[in-house]
Amino acid sequence: NAGVTQTPKFQVLKTGQSMTLQCAQDMNHEYMSWYRQDPGMGLRLIHYSVGAGITDQGEVPNGYNVSRSTTEDFPLRLLSAAPSQTSVYFCASSYSHGGGGYTFGSGTRLTVV
């Protein structure tokens, strides 16, 4: 099925550990982005990419790193996990400038203890 696939669905990390959240799409979308969702704050943009090899920061980039080596994949790396990074993370993609709307993955629920 076409769409955005995120792995893992759940993860518990200890403070200071690093990990990579995976995101892959098979719709040949140029735009990909990572959001985090926290209660009462809606979705906040972490990083985004307008095409392979091009990434930029969103609202809350600190503590996260991204790369875009292919059109399909857009992994999000947590460099040294902190409890403040406990959140639900969503990857989204869109074609062109996003006028058709974004397609979202099902999310990764991350807990940092």
The pairs formed by 43-46 with CB atoms below 8 angstroms and a separation of 24 or more are 43/90, 46/76, 46/89
Applying CB under 8 A, does 43 fall inside the site for other proteins? yes
Are the C-beta atoms of 95 and 31 separated by less than 8 Å? yes
C-alpha dist (Å) from residue 82 to 9, 45, 66, 110: 19, 18, 17, 11
Applying CB under 8 A, does 58 fall inside the site for other proteins? yes
- In whole angstroms, give the CA distance from residue 94 to residue 102: 5
Applying CB under 8 A, does 33 fall inside the site for other proteins? yes
The smaller minimum CB distance to other proteins, of residues 18 and 38, is found at: 38
Q: Which one among 34, 35, 64, 74 touches other proteins, defined by CB under 8 A?
A: 35
Applying CB under 8 A, does 104 fall inside the site for other proteins? yes
Applying CB under 8 A, does 41 fall inside the site for other proteins? yes
Please give the residue ranges that form the binding site for other proteins (CB under 8 A): 31, 33, 35, 40-45, 48, 50, 56, 58, 90, 92, 94, 97-107
